[in-house]
């Protein structure tokens, strides 16, 4: 059976002299693996379309163990991602995070939109790597079903005013007073909390449309990274490398 679907290449593995096994994120099939025979030949019609971080329209056939790429037409290539070590490292991390979440159905479509938007911003340099990383971590986890409880303090119901403690394991909030009673110290100021709610709840096209002070962004970044780590099955190798280049 022939299947035509858009897909973003998240991983490529060389097989032999001219073949590749590629892993794609698609809006309906989720994460799939496909064999792209001859795609490493420079004259192959699949050469560019099957490259890492290339967004293409794929024509696939279902094989015994994986899909087979029959044709692929480039829709968008994020050339700017590879222009800096920071951009490449961040893109690799976002790809590994996506593969670990392995979204399906509507989650896959939402995560594909988020990843395409993130790669565009990396390539264009329109947002800092730190902000892109933080937004992606939080929103990706929300789309995957790990939405934190952000309405207010889980103990007294307080919505805003003063710093809050965000429990990165439970995904819950405590105001400063309630946090103190539990022996916890606030880790998000008002600006960081507002940004957290924005990232989790706003419509897709507005996810990156916010600006907060650097110290607030730093606190939110720590919370996002820890929140993601608590909900993944394993530590991500690409995160360790990303940290070394973002210092």
Per residue of the chain (247 residues), give pLDDT as tens: 899 999 999 999 999 999 999 999 999 999 999 999 999 998 999 999 999 999 999 999 998 889 999 999 999 999 899 999 999 999 999 999 999 999 998 999 999 999 999 999 999 998 999 999 999 999 999 999 999 999 999 999 999 999 999 999 999 999 999 999 999 999 999 999 999 999 999 999 999 999 999 999 999 999 999 999 999 988 899 999 999 998 6
Give the domain CATH number at 68: 2.40.50.140
> Is 86 within the bounds of a domain?
no
> Is 50 within the bounds of a domain?
yes
> Is 71 within the bounds of a domain?
yes
- Residue span of the structural domain in which 214 resides: 146-234
> Is 94 within the bounds of a domain?
no
> Is 137 within the bounds of a domain?
no
Domain final residue pick, 36, 54, 78: 78
Degrees, nearest 5: CA angle 101-104-107 = 80
Kindly report the pTM of this predicted structure. Answer: 0.95
Q: Is 230 exposed, middle or buried (0-12, 13-18, 19+ CB in 10 A)?
A: middle
For the chain, what is the domain count?
Answer: 2
> Is 62 within the bounds of a domain?
yes
> Would you give the DSSP letter of residue 211?
-
Domain final residue pick, 53, 78, 103: 78
Domain final residue pick, 78, 97, 131: 78
């Amino acid at each position: 059976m022939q299947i035509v679907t858009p897909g973003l290449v998240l991983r490529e593995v060389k097989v032999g002299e001219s073949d590749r096994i590629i892993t794609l994120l698609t809006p309906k099939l989720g994460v799939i693996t496909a064999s792209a025979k001859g795609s490493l030949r420079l004259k192959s019609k699949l050469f560019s379309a099957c490259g890492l971080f290339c967004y293409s329209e794929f024509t696939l056939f279902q094989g015994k163990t994986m899909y087979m790429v029959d044709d692929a037409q480039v829709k968008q290539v994020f050339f700017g991602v590879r222009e800096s070590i920071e951009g490449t490292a961040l893109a690799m991390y976002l790809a590994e995070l996506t593969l670990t979440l392995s979204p399906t159905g509507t989650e896959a479509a939402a995560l594909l939109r988020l990843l395409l938007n993130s790669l565009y911003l990396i390539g264009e340099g329109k947002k800092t790597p730190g902000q892109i990383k933080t937004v992606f971590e939080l929103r990706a986890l929300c789309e995957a079903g790990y939405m934190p409880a952000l309405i207010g303090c889980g103990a007294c119901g307080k919505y805003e005013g003063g710093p809050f403690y965000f429990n990165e394991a439970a995904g819950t909030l405590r105001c400063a007073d309630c946090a103190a009673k539990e022996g916890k110290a606030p880790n998000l100021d008002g600006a960081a909390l507002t940004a957290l709610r924005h990232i989790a709840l706003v419509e897709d096209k507005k996810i990156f449309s916010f600006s907060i002070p650097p110290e607030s962004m730093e606190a939110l970044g720590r919370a996002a990274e820890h929140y993601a780590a608590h909900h993944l099955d394993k530590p991500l190798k690409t995160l360790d490398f990303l940290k070394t280049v973002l210092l």
